[in-house]
Structure 1
Amino acid sequence: MIHLQNVSKIYKAKHGDVNAVQDVTLDIKKGEIFGIIGYSGAGKSSLIRLLNGLEKPTSGTVEVAGTELNKVSSRGLRKARQEISMIFQHFNLLWSRTVRENIMFPLEIAGVKKSERVRRADELIKLVGLEGKEKSYPSQLSGGQKQRVGIARALANNPKVLLCDEATSALDPQTTDSILDLLSDINDKLGLTIVLITHEMHVIRKICNRVAVMENGKVVEEGEVLQVFRNPREPMTKRFVQQVTEPEETKETIQHFLQETATGKTIQLSFVGQAAEQPLITEMIRNFDVDVNILQGKISQTKDGAYGSLFIHIDGQEKEVENVIRFIKDKQVEAEVITNV
């Protein structure tokens, strides 16, 4: 559905060229939810402007829904954009128009007759859960409701691709989850290809099938979300994964314990899929002459399965502790001895 081949974007500036996107190659499949994550300045915004045709690449190929955006005429680009819609961080609604009128606006521009515009708008209002708000104005809506209007408006012309530019970063956590659930539901019902631009790993974890990590204009790591959680390779990716699996309070707890404890070993266990459901601790206590202290743990649910992280301290004879570690690894659970956080 989306193919980027060796794409670069260079902006000219007084103090030298800015390499916003550098040699990016990506393939995004039809019907998947693909996340692009990076901190400010990573190149995410420049990349999404290439995907919707607002910018042309300095080099490389950008193909979306069968059209090479960097090669078509202005007329061809306008036609291609009808299949690419976008939702934004700050909603970008028309404040003088009602919910229904905001959703109808793209159809009005496209020359669709009024009766059809109203029918389509009411259909989308039901899809995004805004029944009863048809005649409300944006100023009368909550942040989550405004974003639902933005999503409905983006779907008005039946696009094949939906681009989401930090679409939940202005929302509180509970509202964020409700919007992500809505996007996932839309993906399931409509088979829409969704590309999420974000700096929050929670967003990636919750609904994305695959993820690309950007740093300094480059894609430094890419893969299935569950695999990236299980085995992040790059330092930047590890930082993002730790947002979800090892929040700051966990680090503080483990670091304090390491400073206070002179014997035994502190171990981080990583579980993926069915391994997260094993009664591992019970078996360790039953089968080995060791003391096991659970320090901190969390199971995160990704779209394609569970990922768990558990910190434990094992105390006992050195040989018996080593036997426990081998036992853990035999159970297909990753075990890493922690000496510093």
Structure 2
Amino acid sequence: MIELKQLTKIFDTGKGSLTAVDHVNLSIATGEIFGIIGYSGAGKSTLIRLLNGLEQPTSGTVQINKQNITDSKGLELRKARQKVSMIFQHFNLLWSRTVKENIEFPLEIAGVPKQKRQARVSELVELVGLTGRENAYPSQLSGGQKQRVGIARALANEPEVLLCDEATSALDPETTDAILDLLVDINKRLGLTIVLITHEMHVIRKICHRVAVMEGGKVVELGDVLEVFQSPKEEITKRFVAQVTEKEDSHETIKHLRELYPTGELVKLIFIGDQAEQPILTKLIRNFPVEVNIVQGDIAHTQRGAYGTLILQIKGEPEQIAGAIQFLEVENVQTEVMANA
């Protein structure tokens, strides 16, 4: 679906050059929800503007459905852009137009007849959950409702790709989850390819199939979301993963747990995918004469399966504890001893 080859964008700042995107190679499959995560200045916003042709690369190519949009110009480029829609952090709605008029706007520009426009708007209003709010103005809507309008408007011309530029950053956590659920539903119903940029790992964890981590204009880590959660390689990726696992990993938490559970071993387990559904602890207790207390636990679901963490206190003879930990590793459970007796 999307192929980026040696994509590079260099800006002239007047005081020198700035490489915003540095020789990026990415392949995004049809129907995939692909996340791009990075801190401010990582180059992710420039990358997404290169994807929809708003910026021209200094070198390299962008291909969407085998069409090289970096070489397209004029009418050909405008047609290519119609296949790629975008939603924004701050909605970018027309404040003097109602919900249905905002959704209808790109259809007007495309010259779609009025009757067809109205039928399409009705479909989209229902799809994004705004039935009954068609005649409201943006000032009368909540943040989540405004973003639903933005999503409906982006879908008006039946694009093949939906780009999401920090689309939930201005929303509260509950509304963010509702919008992310809507994007997943749209992806499944329409088979739409979604490319989402964010600085929040919660967003990546909740809806993305794969993720690219950007730093300094480069993609420094790329992989399946579950794999990245299980074994982040780069320090920046570890910091992002800590956004959603911090309560188990923070220094203060570990220190507090050591004080509460001074004997035995404190062991952190990470369960990935099907492991989260297996009776690992039951097997452990049956096979080893140790006492196991569940200290803390959490399970989250990604598009590829479950991701869970569990902190145990294991008490018993040292050799039995060692055997129990070895058993967990044999069962392919990622295990980390957090504290010693």
Q: Same fold (TM over 0.5)?
A: yes
Match of 1:243 in 2: 243
Residue aligning to 2:172: 172
Q: Distance in 1 between matches of 2:248 and 2:43?
A: 27
In the TM superposition, 1:213-224 aligns within 5 A as 213-224=213-224
The Cα shift of 1:332 comes to 2.0
Q: Is the 8 Å Cα contact of residues 248 and 254 (structure 2) preserved in structure 1?
A: no
Q: Calculate percent identity across the aligned residue pairs.
A: 64
**Structure 2 counterparts to residues 68-83 of structure 1, below 5 A:** 68-83=68-83
3-state SS of 1:321 partner: helix
1:253 paired residue number: 253
| Stretches of structure 2 lacking an aligned partner (at least 5 in a row) | none
Q: Distance in 1 between matches of 2:213 and 2:328?
A: 30
Distance 1:59 1:247 in 2: 43
| Distance in structure 2 (CA, Å) of the matches to 1:220 and 1:339 | 32
The residue correspondences of 1:91-106 to structure 2 (distance < 5 A) are 91-106=91-106
CA distance in 1, matches of 2:211, 2:10: 24
Alignment of structure 1 residues 1-341 onto 2, 5 Å: 1-247=1-247, 251-258=251-258, 263-338=263-338
Number of residue equivalences: 340
Q: Distance in 2 between matches of 1:161 and 1:211?
A: 16
Q: Is the 8 A contact 1:254 1:295 kept in 2?
A: no
Could you say what secondary structure the match of 1:129 adopts? Answer: coil
Partners of 1:215 and 1:255 in 2: CA distance: 32
Deviations 1:170-189, CA, capped at 9 Å, x for gaps = 11111111111111111111
Look up the equivalent residue of 1:6 and give its one-letter code.
Q
Are the aligned partners of 2:242 and 2:249 in contact in 1 as well (CA < 8 Å)?
Answer: no
Offset of 1:251 from its aligned partner? 4.6
Relative to structure 1, the CA distance from residue 339 to residue 18 in structure 2 (aligned partners, 3 Å threshold; closer, same or farther) is farther
Q: Deviations over 1:39-63 (max 9, x none)?
A: 1111110100100101111111111
Distance 2:159 2:190 in 1: 10
Hey, what's the Cα distance between the residues in 2 that align with 1:232 and 1:215?
14
AA in 1 matched with 2:169: S
Query: 1:82-115: CA deviations, max 9, x gaps?
Result: 1110000000000000001000000111111211
- Amino acid of the structure 2 residue aligned with 1:304: R
Cα distance in 1 between the residues matched to 2:132 and 2:261: 60
Q: How far off its partner does 1:191 sit?
A: 0.8
Letter in 1 for 2:6: N
How many Å separate the matches in 2 of 1:261 and 1:180? Answer: 39
DSSP-derived class of the 2:162 partner: strand
Paired AA for residue 11 in structure 1: F
For residues 259 and 61 of structure 1, the distance between their equivalents in structure 2, rounded to whole angstroms, comes to: 56
2:183 is matched by which residue type in structure 1? L
State how far apart, in whole Å, the 1-side matches of 2:203 and 2:260 are: 36
Q: 1:22 to 1:228 in 2, by over 3 A?
A: same
Letter in 2 for 1:317: E
Helix, strand or coil for the counterpart of 1:246?
Answer: helix
Amino acid at match of 2:317: Q
- The amino acid across from 2:309 in the alignment is S
Distance in 2 between residues matched to 1:107 and 1:128, nearest whole Å: 17
The one-letter code sitting in structure 2 at the alignment partner of 1:290 is: V
For 1:248 and 1:137, locate their aligned partners in 2 and report how far apart those are by CA, in whole Å: 44
The alignment partner of 2:298 has SS state of strand
Alpha-carbon offset, residue 257 of structure 1: 2.6
Give the TM-score normalised by the residue count of structure 1. 0.95
Instruction: Tell me how far apart the structure 1 counterparts of residues 144 and 244 of structure 2 sit (CA, whole Å).
Output: 23
RMSD value, Cα:
1.7
Q: Secondary structure at the match of 2:47?
A: helix
Mean Cα deviation higher: 199-208 or 256-265: 256-265
